[in-house]
Amino acid sequence: MIPVVNAQETAKTVPESQLQMQLSFAPLVKQTASAVVNVYAERMVERRSPFLDDPFFEQFFGQRMPNRTEKQSSLGSGVIVEADGTVVTNNHVIEGADDIKVALADGREFPCEVILKDDRLDLAVLKIKDGGNFPSLPIGNSDAVEVGDLVLAIGNPFGVGQTVTSGIVSALARNQVVKSEFGFFIQTDASINPGNSGGALMNMKGELIGINTAIFSRGGGSNGVGFAIPANLVKVFLASAENGAKRFERPYVGATFEPVTSEVAEALGLQTARGALVVKVAGDGPAAKAGLKPGEVVTAVNGVPVEHPDALGYRLTTAGLGIAVDLTVLDNGKEETVKLTLDGAPETAPRDQRQIEGRNPFAGAVVANLSPRVADELRMASDTTGVVVTEVKPGSPADRLGFAARDVIVSVNGNAVDSTKTLAAALQDDPGFWRVEIDRDGQRLRQFFR
């Protein structure tokens, strides 16, 4: 089971004497540092020969030039959160790895397997293969964290070995930190450097309050601005892994949101530019059933204020699927509360996934009918409809012609494509001249092939 710690409100004071200033973090470090591990990830990569397509060398090697295969290694950190060897780290630490090992502070090394990973949250759950009773770190309540709280960051920066740094929480609910669709980070001035990724951000009770994940620096080193994924999001992710999920599922709202800018706030008569502006509502989604309308502003979830759309997404995600939450909504200056039920994205149209074959431009592409669920898996807008390319086989005609995953097929030879069935029918003929229209990230592209 995931260790859950109920945070108690305690009085916080500043140091009042020289003696208090000489207090040490050493007892806390001794108690907790053994639960922070080094994560070693190795992957095999193929290096393209620099002499490929060179006519001189083709005389000796023919059309196929030998490529080199070499091993790449990456180093990061992780946190043991359960005594059975369950480890949480960043997804980017283990992404693409063929072999993953963890090294404990006492020097022992163990192989690991990946239980669940998600590149959008940048989280991964590993399991140490050799069973045992490992030291673990309890997970705290990151919602109880306040700006100014003392924190410790534990990890393996630059591969020099386990290091502990101290600082304070500088800010909360930070977004637009990294290129990601999801942003809600704890900011700290505790030194975080390359190699700290996946390590622990810990409070003075010895509880995990965040997974260190990013630094803001032009030189690659810590400049006093580091970011951690809140522990409450880690709890939800761990629960999904324990339930055997193969992918982390987010709540489907059926609406799109934008930040409330100062201009929007002025136009809507808001005193502050905060909240999530409802831009579009799907006709039969949870938002429509809850009564949300475009132009309204969501300002809180279950009474907790939301600063921006990322904060709204965080609050809904950490609430959990199958839960009904209360949204505080501003409409024409009036505040009301609506109840939103959180469920996974539906597969409103059967995906009917199929691989295209034959003599046509899409040969080698895998296509599917779009639905909110398929769109979520492909990181597309939930209201996108039609037929989408989900995969392109390397070296296939579709690959050579430049088609890619997330391309939405609009028409073939002037025939509108609204399902995989109509696409298959349109590709049965061999006209000798193909006119194809696709939608790629909102841009219409028309291509002609013989």
Q: Which residues have a catalytic role annotated?
A: 92, 122, 197
Closest CA to 188 of 146, 134, 231, 245: 146
Alpha-carbon span 240 to 86, nearest angstrom: 13
The span from the first CA to the last CA of the chain, in angstroms, equals: 60
Residue type, 107: G
How far apart CA 242 and CA 406 sit, in angstroms, is: 30
Q: Pick the closest to residue 405 from 446, 374, 428, 427 (CA basis).
A: 374
Amino acid at 268: L
The residues with which 164 forms a beta bridge, in sequence order, are 154
Closest CA to 193 of 172, 213, 167, 169: 213
Chain-centroid distance of CA 110 in Å reads 26
**CA 254 to CA 44: how far, in whole Å?**
41
The residues pairing with 7 across neighbouring beta strands, listed in sequence order, are none
Show Cβ contacts of residue 403 under 8 Å, excluding neighbours closer than 6 positions: 361, 362, 365, 389, 392, 438
Query: For 238-285, where are the E strands, in sequence order?
Result: 251-252, 255-259, 276-281
User: In terms of DSSP bridges, do strands 334-341 and 343-344 run parallel, antiparallel, or are they unpaired?
Assistant: unpaired
Q: Report the C-alpha gap between 231 and 229 in whole angstroms.
A: 7
Distance CA 309, CA 312 (A): 5
DSSP 184: -
